[in-house]
Structure 1
Amino acid sequence: MAEVPVNFRVRDKAGAKTQRADARLRADDARGGTRHRIAHRTVRASFWRAATAAVWVADREHTRVAAINEGTGEMKYFLSNATTASVTRVLAVAFRRCTVEHWFRLGKQEAGLMGYEGRNYTGLIRHLTPSLIVLGFVATRTERLRGGETGADGGTGVPGAEPAVPSGVPPSARRARGTAHQRRDPVPPEAQHPGRQVPQETAA
């Protein structure tokens, strides 16, 4: 199952001449097709009209689906190799593909491998597999280090007995400190510079 562009070329039968998707199934064909309700989690359900046709791609039979949104007029083309599946099921899978691709992007982003761009499912899986392996390795190491360091850094881990905190300053040290403070001699009164005083008779 894949969404394909309008210029994607298909055949009416094996060995026939190729033609564009919008030439094989037009918007008018989709408007006259069956009505389907597509449920969404975050927004209201949408309603699509869809028409199907049997086509050949790479000498294999596929189902070509042309769908048009009743509300917006948006046109989409899908190609499925599940030729015996119902149109309702094909559309349900088709509109879930974008969600799956989003999770692929998140997995690649977490592993730091965002350079791959392609629509081939096999290539996507081959690229995503090492990405998830790297992500799993990082997650495992993170889980081991959660709550403590490795054995080489045994003294820096969070768990374990903490060193004893010294109690308050001993009384003898407090007394010694008090004695040291008392040894400071205050400035004797006679050494202080007398301020300018006004004679009593003048003040009177």
Structure 2
Amino acid sequence: MTAVRQDAWSPDDDLILAEVTLRHIREGGTQLGAFEEVGERIARTSAACGFRWNSCVRKRYEEAIQLAKQQRQKRNYLKKQTNVASHISAVAEQETDSLKYQDQGFVEDAIAIEAVIRYLKQWKTVYSDLQRQISRLEKELKLREDELYGLRQMNDKLSREASHAQLDYQSVNDDYKMLIQIMDRARRLTVLNEEEELRPRFKMDANGNLERIE
């Protein structure tokens, strides 16, 4: 039974965790399987190993992870090619067995060539489908690019209109303030004129006395 440890992770523990996890990624295994293997080796739970990998160790091995993924893809590709070759060979063998009454050497060559031709025809069909899909995606991309260009043009136009509106608003606001100032001065002048008219005026008569002018 795997013991549960509570002590801190050592550099050796981190190294084992990284090596095993990268190997599982490279060989097409799962990270859960890697965490279980590491847990058995260093007496920790798989959950603890997974938490340590995701929270700390993974960040230090980003390049190694990408390399391991590339190696896995290459491994899968070679395996697929091997399977294809085996399939072609099996088809050739089946064709050969069904035509044993003909010349053995000629039949084997003809069947092998025919199997290869059928295989290539199948891949030609797949390739044509992929080409049509790529063409469709390119058209969709062109439409999206045109739509994006139109939206950018509209955004530029709206930005210019907003700038002009801001300037117009500032100009109107300044004119309004100036009008208020003019009206305020006119009001004050009117009040002063009224006060001036209401103020009593006097003149001096021939005897040197002041008399009020109505």
TM-score by length of 1: 0.27
Which has a greater percent of helix? 2
The structure, 1 or 2, with the larger RCO (C-alpha pairs under 8 Å, 6+ apart) is: 1
Which has a greater percent of strand? 1
Q: Pick the structure with greater CA Rg.
A: 2
